[in-house]
Amino acid sequence: MSLFKRREIQGPTAAELIPPRPVQRAGGVTVTNETALRHSAVWACLRLRANLVSTMPVDVYRRVGEMKVEVPKPPVLINPGGERVGMMEWLYSTQFDLDRAGNCFGLITARDGLGLPARIELVPLADVTVRQRDGVVTYRIGQQDYAAEEVWHERQYTMAGLAVGLSPIAYAAWSIGEYLSIQQFALDWFGNGAVPSAHLKNTAKTISPDQAEETKRRFKAATSNQDLFVTGNDWEYKMIQAEAAGSEWLEAKRYGIGDIARFLDCPGDLVDAAVAGSMTYANITQRNLQFLVMNLGPAIIRREDALSSLTSRPRFVKLNTDALLRMDPQARATMLAAQITSRQLAPSEARELEDRAPFTESQLSEFDRLFGTKNPAPAPGATATTGVPS
Q: Do 107 and 150 meet the contact criterion of CB atoms below 8 Å apart?
A: yes
What pLDDT was estimated at residue 322? 78
Which residues of the chain, if any, have pLDDT below 70?
A: 1-29, 178-202, 222-233, 235-255, 274-283, 327-328, 374-390
pLDDT digits (tens, 9 = 90+) for 359-370: 898 988 888 888
Query: In this predicted model, what pLDDT tens digit does every residue of 324-340 receive, in sequence order?
Result: 777 667 777 888 888 88
Per-residue pLDDT tens digits for 221-246: 766 666 666 666 676 666 544 444 44
Q: Which residues contact 312 (CB under 8 A, 6 or more apart)?
A: 114, 116
pTM of the model: 0.68
Q: What is the pLDDT of residues 39-78, one digit of tens each?
A: 888 999 999 999 999 999 999 999 888 888 999 999 999 9
Report the pLDDT value the prediction gives residue 61, as an integer from 0 to 100. Answer: 94
How far is residue 103 from each of residues 25, 97, 153, 240, measured CA to CA in Å?
26, 6, 7, 46
Q: What local confidence, expressed as pLDDT, does residue 228 receive? A: 62
Tell me the C-alpha distance between 227 and 232, whole Å: 17
Pairing assessment for the beta strands 128-133 and 136-141 based on DSSP bridges: antiparallel
Instruction: Please say whether the beta carbons of 180 and 111 come within 8 A.
Output: no
- How far is residue 164's CA from residue 247's CA, in Å, rounded to a whole number? 41
